[in-house]
Amino acid sequence: MFLSRNNIILFLKVKLLQRKKSFFFLRKLKKKFPQSQIYLIGGAVRDLLLSHSTQDYDFVVRNIPLDALRSFLSRYGNVNLVGETFGVLKFVPNEVKPHHVFDIALPRKDFSFKTGGYRDVRTENDPKLSIEEDLSRRDFTINAMAIEIHFNPFKKNILIDPQEGYKDLEGRIIKTVGQPEERFKEDYSRILRGIRFACQLNFEIEDMTWKAMKDKMSYLLSSGKQVVPYEVIAKEFLKSFASNPLKAFDLYDKSGAFQELIPELLKMKGCPQPDNWHSEGDVWTHTRLALQSLYSSKFYQQFKTQKFSLELILSILFHDVGKPYTIQTPEKDKTDRIRFNEHDTVGGEITKKICQRLKLSSPEKVGVNIDNIVWLVSHHMLLSQGRVKKMKASTIEKYFFNSQKPGLDLLKLSFVDILATVPPSGKPNFSDFNQMVQRINSLKSRSYNQKSQNLPQLLVNGDEIMQELNLSPGPVIGKLLDLVREEQLNGHLKNKKQAFEFLKSVYGKSKQD
**Residue 223 resides in a domain:** yes
**What is the 3-class SS of 364-414, one letter each residue?**
CCCCCCHHHHHHHHHCCCCCCCCHHHHCCHHHHHHHHCCCCCCHHHHHHHH
Name the more confident of 112 and 280: 280
Distance between CA atoms of residues 187 and 113, nearest Å: 10
Domain identity same for 46 and 139: yes
**Residue 164 resides in a domain:** yes
Considering 121, 148, 169, which residue would you say is the last residue of a domain?
169
Domain identity same for 66 and 150: yes
Domain identity same for 493 and 427: no
Distance between CA atoms of residues 197 and 382, nearest Å: 36
265: which DSSP letter? H
Mean pLDDT of 4-24: 62
In the prediction, which pLDDT does 512 show? 45
Distance between CA atoms of residues 53 and 59, nearest Å: 17
pLDDT above 50 for 510:
no
Considering 228, 261, 294, which residue would you say is the last residue of a domain?
261
Domain identity same for 339 and 441: yes
Q: What is the CA radius of gyration of the chain?
A: 29
Backbone angles phi, psi at 505, to 5 degrees: -75, -30
User: What is this structure's pTM?
Assistant: 0.91
Beta bridge partners of 224: none
Domain identity same for 376 and 477: no
**Residue 275 resides in a domain:** no
**Size of the chain in residues:** 513
**Residue 129 resides in a domain:** yes
In the prediction, which pLDDT does 449 show? 64
**Residue 276 resides in a domain:** no
Domain identity same for 492 and 415: no
In the prediction, which pLDDT does 3 show? 40
CATH code of the domain containing 403: 1.10.3210
Which distant-in-sequence residues (6+ apart) come within 8 Å of 102 by Cβ? 57, 58, 59, 90, 91, 92, 93
Which distant-in-sequence residues (6+ apart) come within 8 Å of 151 by Cβ? 18, 26, 27, 30
Domain identity same for 227 and 79: no
Mean pLDDT of 351-358: 98
CATH code of the domain containing 141: 3.30.460.10
The CA-based angle 249-253-255, given to 5 degrees, is: 120
Question: Tens digit of pLDDT for each residue in 30-41?
Answer: 999 999 999 999
Boundaries of domain holding 140:
4-169
Question: Tens digit of pLDDT for each residue in 46-99?
Answer: 998 898 888 889 999 999 999 999 999 999 999 998 765 677 999 999 877 667
Domain identity same for 350 and 428: yes
448 burial via Cβ count (<10 Å: 0-12, 13-18, 19+)? middle
Considering 153, 169, 185, which residue would you say is the last residue of a domain?
169
CATH code of the domain containing 181: 1.10.110
Task: Give the number of domains in the chain.
Answer: 4
Question: Tens digit of pLDDT for each residue in 408-454?
Answer: 999 999 999 999 999 999 999 999 999 999 999 999 887 666 665 67
In the prediction, which pLDDT does 4 show? 43
Question: Tens digit of pLDDT for each residue in 381-410?
Answer: 999 877 898 899 999 999 999 999 999 999
Mean pLDDT of 292-310: 95
Distance between CA atoms of residues 42 and 57, nearest Å: 8
Domain identity same for 162 and 188: no
Domain identity same for 418 and 304: yes
Distance between CA atoms of residues 71 and 16, nearest Å: 28
Name the more confident of 509 and 43: 43
**Residue 266 resides in a domain:** no
